[in-house]
């Protein structure tokens, strides 16, 4: 065998090794796609809201109603009389699904830009996990901030939204 053929064979072997090493390096990067079907339902909802305490407000003009989806609590407080006046509510959160669910957040939204009104979630839920059919109680308040002397709107109208995920 001539030297040219030996060099050509060595070059081809080196080329194949380089290609093989490059291919092996790319094997470390794996991409997996697909779908996962769980047998179950994830659903937690508000239930049974009620007034715990009301100061400086007419209780007949207070409402806390669960939305049709169950994930929102619609609240109306009318005629807060003075700074420090407010209402404390209590409501249950129930896992009506069939898999454990984790509460991510409970957030008010839709409140007008009146800085005098403070909404406080009085209980710490800290990523609470609810098992199916388990109930958890939270309290929250709507208060005319004592340090804010500007008048407030006639009607305070907002919603509290429940955000949750499937528990790990």
pLDDT per residue of the chain (168 residues) written in tens, 0 to 9: 778 777 777 777 877 677 766 666 655 555 666 665 557 899 999 999 999 999 999 888 899 999 999 999 999 998 888 888 999 999 999 999 999 999 999 988 888 766 788 888 877 877 899 999 999 999 999 998 888 777 766 788 899 999 999 998
Q: Which CATH number fits the domain 44-166, given the four candidates 2.40.160, 1.10.20, 2.60.40, 1.20.1530? A: 2.60.40
Question: Per-domain residue ranges for the chain?
Answer: 44-166
- Which pLDDT does position 37 carry in this prediction? 57
Contacts of 39 (CB under 8 A, 6+ apart): none
d(CA 142, CA 49): 14
- The phi, psi pair for 13, rounded to 5°, reads -65, -45
Cα-based distances in Å from 86 to 25, 54, 60, 62, 116: 65, 6, 14, 10, 11
pTM of the model: 0.72
d(CA 117, CA 158): 11
């Amino acid at each position: 065998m001539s030297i040219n053929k030996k060099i050509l064979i060595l070059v081809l072997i080196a080329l194949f090794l380089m290609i093989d090493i490059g291919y092996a390096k790319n094997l470390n990067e794996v991409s997996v796609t697909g779908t996962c079907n769980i047998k179950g339902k994830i659903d937690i909802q508000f239930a049974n809201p009620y007034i715990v305490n009301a100061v400086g407000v007419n209780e007949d003009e207070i409402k806390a109603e669960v939305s049709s989806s169950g994930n929102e609590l619609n609240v109306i407080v009318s005629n807060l009389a003075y700074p420090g006046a407010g209402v404390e509510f209590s409501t249950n959160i129930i896992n009506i699904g069939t898999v454990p669910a984790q509460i991510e957040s409970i957030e008010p939204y839709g409140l007008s830009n009146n800085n005098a009104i403070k909404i406080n979630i009085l209980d710490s839920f800290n990523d609470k996990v609810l098992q199916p059919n388990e109930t958890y109680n939270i309290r929250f308040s709507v208060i005319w901030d004592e340090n804010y002397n500007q008048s407030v709107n006639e009607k305070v109208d907002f919603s509290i939204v429940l955000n949750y995920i499937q528990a790990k």
